[in-house]
């Protein structure tokens, strides 16, 4: 648990630092996630409140190359307003330089008659020399706040046109990759405030004067606070790309000029006149498409504003709060269960997060950092998986080092497949204990050369150990010429008394074969005394910091050792306590006996076949 806490604290610190520093890779990942979601959520429903008049390549070919004369633009405005009865007209085109007075006057007169909104472009860079082309015209008197973006220059219209027209700026702010994501609804220039084109169009369409006020970080353009636009720290508003490009009515300019379009197509609709022609260079990159006519950006904005929205006085999904709750749940699952449960949680919470931000975006106009909760949770899970793998490896190594001398290879492999710290912890457990001792072996080995005595001892203990391992027993220790083993720990064995008894019979058979070979060599037979008993004991790693020892302690162990001694007194090779007779066949009772050092008599059983000791 200590390592998990250290890892979680480290990951939390790294996540905060990573997000706060906003490295380029993170920003690109977050923006890519937003773009994908915007594309998926963009509606293909037709937008009926507005239309676009496109000075496209065909219009340039039919009506003449760009720039068109001011009189031709005046004619386009008048036909749009008078013949097609458009509601409000906005120009996504700037006329910075005066041309001949006749043409200029016709355009000025047309703007007056149609009450069209003219465009202005702001320079936010503040470079020297300052860009001031044309005339900035008149802004609105109301001030929304000093935190609005400040313009340092502009590209406006020639003075006569700027003086009579309502203006709206067409200056979105591209991100570091040049993609149009944000626009300032209001811009300060000198002592005036200037709205964006779509906001000026909406004000004219609703016949409401713009009277912007600020509340916290949200702009309320009109009195009564019926519409709110919430800004980021730089005074920018996230452009809501709610519609597919195909949702908008787009009419080539030449069809209007030649009256080839249906006369009711633009009736009472808000109209933006712009261009998709390559020569006019008004193409931008947006989350929806890599090539988007600039007028489409303002159409998206106007369509969203026209729909109205008073929801943004309330906070939307908070990625940090959602992440905090998700990580708390993830940490709990990883402690209580495993990485697979964490993976399921990450999958479910990621889906919930995407659903939540999608619903909020469809009702509002902003998207939070979509990638933050998902990326950080995946990062946490991967780091946790690496930690768990390391801990499992360490635990496996510890179990291997401890049990390699206790368990047969196949049981050791089984223990390593599910390494568990609790396997090593001391615990109360019912086991069956077996003691086996070579009768009279000390006297026998004293008469043999040292090397021969050592070889014989190893050989006999190997035979006894093989019998233990054949029945999946745990070898506790060798004690001179004796052996101690037990069953039902560390792995569960429901038939542990039967396994111990079978191990004793296997020992008997192996020694019988050994004695047969010794008889052929004229050597004396070797016999063992075996005691078996079952009971509740303390089992686990009961060693010290210098040496580990997986062993058992308890009264059942003492009784098994006493039964081994009693077997010699009874003249048998196997003596079994009553507690270890479950499932064992072929036993004979010898009644109750007082074992050495015991105050209470024990009921003793033997497996017949007497020996002469």
Reported as a single tens digit per residue, the pLDDT across 475-520 is 889 898 899 999 998 888 999 999 999 999 999 999 999 999 999 9
Instruction: Indicate the pairing of strand 132-133 with strand 117-123.
Output: unpaired
Is pLDDT above 50 for 535?
yes
Q: Which helix (H) or strand (E) holds 539?
A: strand 528-541
Mean pLDDT for the stretch of residues 406-432: 72
What's residue 448's pLDDT?
85
Q: Is the peptide bond prior to 67 cis by the omega test (within 30 degrees of 0)?
A: yes
Per the model's pLDDT, the better-predicted residue between 327 and 204 turns out to be 204
Is pLDDT above 90 for 530?
yes
Mean pLDDT for the stretch of residues 79-107: 94
Could you tell me which of 197, 195, 185, 188 has the C-alpha nearest to residue 147? Answer: 188
Q: What Cα–Cα distance (Å) separates residue 344 from each residue in 321, 350, 522?
A: 20, 10, 71
Reported as a single tens digit per residue, the pLDDT across 228-255 is 888 888 889 989 898 999 999 999 999 9
First and final C-alpha spacing in the chain: 57
Residue 244 to residue 252: CA distance in whole angstroms: 19
Reported as a single tens digit per residue, the pLDDT across 147-156 is 788 899 999 9
Highest mean pLDDT among 6-10, 21-25, 65-69, 561-565: 561-565
Q: What Cα–Cα distance (Å) separates residue 492 from each residue in 415, 461, 472, 487, 501?
A: 11, 25, 11, 8, 17
Residue 613 to residue 609: CA distance in whole angstroms: 13
List the structure tokens of 598. Answer: 């015991």
What's residue 612's pLDDT?
40
Residue 54 to residue 45: CA distance in whole angstroms: 20
Which residues, 6+ apart, have CB-to-CB distance to 211 below 8 Å? 142, 221, 222, 223
Residue 118 to residue 204: CA distance in whole angstroms: 12
Q: What Cα–Cα distance (Å) separates residue 397 from each residue in 341, 401, 403, 410, 437?
A: 25, 6, 10, 16, 32
What's residue 487's pLDDT?
95
Residue 257 to residue 59: CA distance in whole angstroms: 9
Residue 50 to residue 87: CA distance in whole angstroms: 9
What's residue 611's pLDDT?
41
Instruction: Indicate the pairing of strand 249-252 with strand 186-189.
Output: unpaired
pLDDT bucket at 613, cuts 50 / 70 / 90:
very low
Reported as a single tens digit per residue, the pLDDT across 329-358 is 877 776 677 677 778 888 888 888 888 888
Is pLDDT above 50 for 313?
no
Q: Which helix (H) or strand (E) holds 89?
A: strand 89-91
What's residue 130's pLDDT?
81
Residue 341 to residue 344: CA distance in whole angstroms: 5
> Angle at the Cα of 349 (from 343 to 354), degrees rounded to 5?
130
3-class DSSP state of 127: coil
Which residues, 6+ apart, have CB-to-CB distance to 595 below 8 Å? 559, 562, 563, 565, 566, 602
What's residue 407's pLDDT?
65
Is pLDDT above 90 for 41?
no
Could you tell me which of 517, 498, 380, 390 has the C-alpha nearest to residue 460? Answer: 517
What's residue 597's pLDDT?
84
Per the model's pLDDT, the better-predicted residue between 234 and 129 turns out to be 234
Residue burial 57-89, b: 16+ Cβ < 10 Å; e: rest: eebbeebeeeebbbbbbbbbbebbbeebebbbb
CB 12, CB 400: distance < 8 Å: no
What's residue 490's pLDDT?
85
Nearest 5°: phi and psi at 170?
A: -120, 50
3-class DSSP state of 324: helix
What's residue 37's pLDDT?
86
pTM above 0.85, yes or no: no
pLDDT bucket at 311, cuts 50 / 70 / 90:
very low
Is pLDDT above 60 for 584?
yes
pLDDT bucket at 20, cuts 50 / 70 / 90:
low
3-class DSSP state of 310: coil
pLDDT bucket at 434, cuts 50 / 70 / 90:
very high
3-class DSSP state of 582: coil
Which bin fits 308, alpha (ψ -120 to 50), beta or left (φ > 0)? left
Is pLDDT above 70 for 392?
no
3-class DSSP state of 72: helix
Which residues, 6+ apart, have CB-to-CB distance to 65 below 8 Å? 279
Q: Which helix (H) or strand (E) holds 484?
A: strand 482-487
Which bin fits 22, alpha (ψ -120 to 50), beta or left (φ > 0)? left
pLDDT bucket at 314, cuts 50 / 70 / 90:
very low
What's residue 107's pLDDT?
95
Lowest mean pLDDT among 301-315, 419-433, 456-470, 529-543: 301-315
Residue 300 to residue 311: CA distance in whole angstroms: 18
What's residue 394's pLDDT?
66
Is pLDDT above 80 for 320?
no
Reported as a single tens digit per residue, the pLDDT across 449-464 is 989 888 999 999 999 9
What's residue 610's pLDDT?
47
CB 194, CB 298: distance < 8 Å: no
Percent of the chain at pLDDT > 70 equals: 84
Residue 265 to residue 270: CA distance in whole angstroms: 11
Average pLDDT over the chain reads: 85
Nearest 5°: phi and psi at 293?
A: -60, 140
DSSP code per residue over 403-441: HTTTS-HHHHHHHHHS--GGGTS-EEEEEEEEEEEETTH
Is pLDDT above 90 for 573?
yes
Reported as a single tens digit per residue, the pLDDT across 174-194 is 887 889 999 999 999 888 899
What's residue 420's pLDDT?
57
Could you tell me which of 440, 534, 427 has the C-alpha nearest to residue 480? Answer: 440
What's residue 417's pLDDT?
66
Per the model's pLDDT, the better-predicted residue between 437 and 381 turns out to be 437
Residue 89 to residue 113: CA distance in whole angstroms: 11
Q: What Cα–Cα distance (Å) separates residue 233 from each residue in 35, 149, 184, 552?
A: 21, 10, 11, 68
Longest CA–CA separation in the chain, Å: 138
Is pLDDT above 60 for 288?
yes
Mean pLDDT for the stretch of residues 300-314: 68
Highest mean pLDDT among 222-226, 260-264, 351-355: 260-264
Q: Say what the alpha-carbon torsion angle 158, 162, 164, 170 is, to the nearest 10 degrees.
A: 130
What count of residues does the chain have?
A: 613
What's residue 143's pLDDT?
58
CB 503, CB 445: distance < 8 Å: no
Q: Which helix (H) or strand (E) holds 528?
A: strand 528-541
């Amino acid at each position: 648990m200590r390592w998990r806490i250290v890892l979680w604290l480290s990951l939390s610190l790294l996540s905060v630092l990573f997000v706060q520093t906003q490295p380029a890779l993170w920003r690109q990942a977050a923006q890519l996630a937003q773009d994908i979601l915007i594309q998926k959520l963009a509606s293909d429903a037709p937008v009926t409140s507005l239309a676009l008049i496109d000075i496209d390549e065909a219009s340039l070919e039919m009506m003449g190359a760009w720039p068109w004369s001011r009189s031709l633009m005046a004619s386009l405005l008048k036909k749009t307003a008078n013949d097609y009865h458009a509601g409000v007209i906005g120009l996504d085109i700037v006329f910075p330089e005066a041309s001949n007075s006749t043409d200029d006057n016709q355009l000025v007169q047309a703007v007056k008659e149609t009450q069209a909104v003219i465009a202005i472009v702001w320079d936010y860079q503040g470079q020297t020399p300052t860009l001031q082309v044309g005339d900035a015209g008149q802004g609105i008197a109301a001030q929304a706040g000093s935190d609005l973006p400040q313009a340092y220059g502009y590209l406006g219209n020639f003075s006569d046109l700027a003086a009579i027209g309502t203006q709206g700026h067409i200056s979105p702010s591209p991100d570091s990759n040049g993609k149009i994501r944000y626009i300032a609804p209001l811009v300060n220039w000198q002592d005036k405030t200037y709205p964006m084109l779509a906001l000026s169009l909406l004000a004219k369409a609703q016949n409401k004067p713009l009277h912007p006020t600020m509340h916290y970080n949200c702009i309320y353009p009109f009195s009564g606070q019926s519409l709110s636009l919430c800004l980021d720290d730089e005074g920018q508003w996230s452009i809501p790309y709610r519609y597919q490009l195909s949702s908008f009515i787009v009419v080539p300019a030449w069809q209007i000029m030649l009256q080839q379009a249906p006369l009711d197509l633009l009736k009472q609709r808000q109209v933006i006149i712009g261009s998709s022609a390559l020569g006019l260079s008004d193409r931008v990159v947006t989350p929806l498409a890599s090539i988007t006519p600039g007028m489409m950006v303002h159409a998206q904005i106007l369509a969203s504003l026209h729909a109205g929205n008073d929801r943004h006085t309330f906070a939307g999904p908070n990625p940090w709060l959602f992440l905090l709750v998700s990580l708390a749940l993830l940490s709990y699952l990883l402690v209580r269960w495993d990485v697979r449960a964490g993976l399921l949680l990450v999958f479910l919470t990621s889906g919930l997060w995407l659903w939540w931000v999608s619903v909020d975006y469809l009702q509002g106009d902003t998207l939070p950092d979509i990638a933050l909760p998902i990326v950080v949770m995946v990062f946490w899970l991967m780091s946790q998986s690496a930690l768990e793998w390391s801990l499992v490896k360490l635990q496996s190594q510890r179990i291997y080092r401890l049990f390699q001398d206790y368990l047969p290879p196949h049981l050791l492999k089984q223990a390593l497949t599910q390494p568990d710290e609790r396997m090593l912890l001391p615990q109360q457990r019912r086991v069956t204990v077996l003691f086996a001792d070579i009768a009279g072996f000390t006297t026998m080995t004293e008469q043999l050369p040292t090397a021969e005595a050592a070889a014989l001892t190893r050989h006999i203990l190997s035979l006894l150990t093989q019998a233990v391992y054949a029945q999946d027993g745990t070898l506790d220790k060798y004690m001179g010429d004796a052996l101690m083993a037990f069953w039902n720990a560390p792995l569960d064995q429901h038939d542990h008394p039967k396994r111990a008894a079978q191990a004793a019979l296997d020992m008997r058979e192996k020694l019988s074969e050994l004695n047969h070979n010794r008889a052929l060599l004229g050597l004396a037979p070797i016999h063992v005394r075996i005691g078996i008993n079952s009971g509740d004991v303390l089992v686990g790693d009961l060693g010290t910091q210098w040496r580990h020892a997986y062993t058992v302690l308890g009264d059942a162990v003492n009784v098994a050792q006493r039964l081994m001694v009693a077997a010699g007194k009874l003249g048998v090779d196997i003596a079994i306590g009553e507690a270890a007779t479950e499932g064992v066949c072929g036993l004979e009772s010898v009644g109750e006996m007082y074992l050495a050092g015991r105050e209470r008599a024990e009921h003793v059983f033997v497996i017949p076949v007497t020996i002469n000791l």
